[in-house]
Amino acid sequence: MKGRVICLDSRAGREAAALIVDGRLEDLLIDPPEDRPAPEAIFRAIVDRPVKGQGGVFVRLPEGGTGFLRQASGLAPGQRLLVQVSGVAEPGKAVPVTARLLFKSRLCILTPGAPGLNISRRIRDEALREELSEIAAEAMTGAADDLGLILRSACETASDSEIATEIVETRALAEAVLADVAGEPELLVDAPGAHQLAWRDWSDPSPDEIDEAEGAFERHGVAEACEALLSAQVPLGGGAHMAVEPTRALVAVDVNTGSDTSPAAALKANVAAARELPRQLRLRGLGGQVVIDFAPMPKRDRVALEQVLRAAFRGESAETSLAGWTPLGLYELVRKRDRIPLTELLT
């Protein structure tokens, strides 16, 4: 089936959403358990103790939780501050948090501490950009000087009233939270659920179909795709395959040519793996250090393969740093941990 389809369903009693593009599963969101703070949740926290040598501090969160805040110079134990969950931690470890808050909606993002009115570069119509600037300036009249605004690309197809209303509502939430620093550790803004994230982040471009009736995952093959994602094996075509296996320290990826013994077999398998890897990491909720053992190929082919890798990871929502080749011929990259691994959510 051609086009973009959004499926809203549930898994293990929690909200779940799937994005299908031209019949292939491209993204998958499942709400985490209630005891696991999710990215974008905002807390009032209390500075606990510094971590020597790491330039950060532990902060106390509600119900005995602990967060870790990097680049936290100038903070004193006992100080109250607002923090936002910025990633996912393994069970028993401190939750990564940041003091740079973002208030996101479908059409705009409010940026405390980062002033300015900005418009998505994907909107190129100069007349529209000027019109959006006027709407933004009016909606932000009287706001604090350090409260910035970003208009997202979805504004291109939204009405003026929709944009103005969403800016005002998001600004009101941001101002209320920013004024609520006093008190004990508390959850001030819960993380968006899977259905809300799907509506917010997958609506541009507009989907061709939204299936939110019970059994949507089964009707569109998402349930079957989830089962396949629990296996390490990923077919790459032509008999080639790769294995994606997370360990406690890193994610190991092994690429094999299979039965193809032609001279170009290794490069073909490696290119296919490089193109597929961002999708597999995204769907499986994997991040951290990723080490890839590509199929053996001449060193002269590495430049071409790196170009494919850079293109494949361009535009990924999770920040990814391509570190390069090791002396042993492995390739390393680091991807931000922004989701709980799918195996933890489904098993």
- 7-64: pLDDT as tens digits: 999 988 899 999 999 999 999 999 998 888 999 999 999 999 888 777 799 999 999 9
Q: What whole-number distance in Å separates Cα of residue 73 and Cα of residue 56?
A: 7
pLDDT in tens, 311-335: 999 989 889 999 999 999 999 999 9
Are 267 and 297 within 8 A, CB to CB? yes
Contact by Cβ (8 Å): 192, 40: yes
Place of tokens 């060193």: 299
β-partners of residue 5 are 20, 209
Identify which of 112, 120, 194, 106 has the alpha carbon closest to the alpha carbon of residue 153.
120
7: three-class secondary structure by DSSP: strand
d(CA 19, CA 168): 29
SS3 content of the chain, % helix, strand, coil (to 5): 30, 30, 40
Map residue 107 onto helix, strand or coil: coil
Q: Which of helix, strand or coil describes residue 104? A: strand
Model-level pTM? 0.91
The predicted-structure confidence for 91-129, as pLDDT tens digits, reads as follows: 788 999 999 999 999 999 999 999 999 999 999 999 999
- Is residue 7 within 8 Å of 220, Cβ to Cβ? yes
- What would you report as the CA-atom Rg of the chain, rounded to the nearest whole angstrom? 22
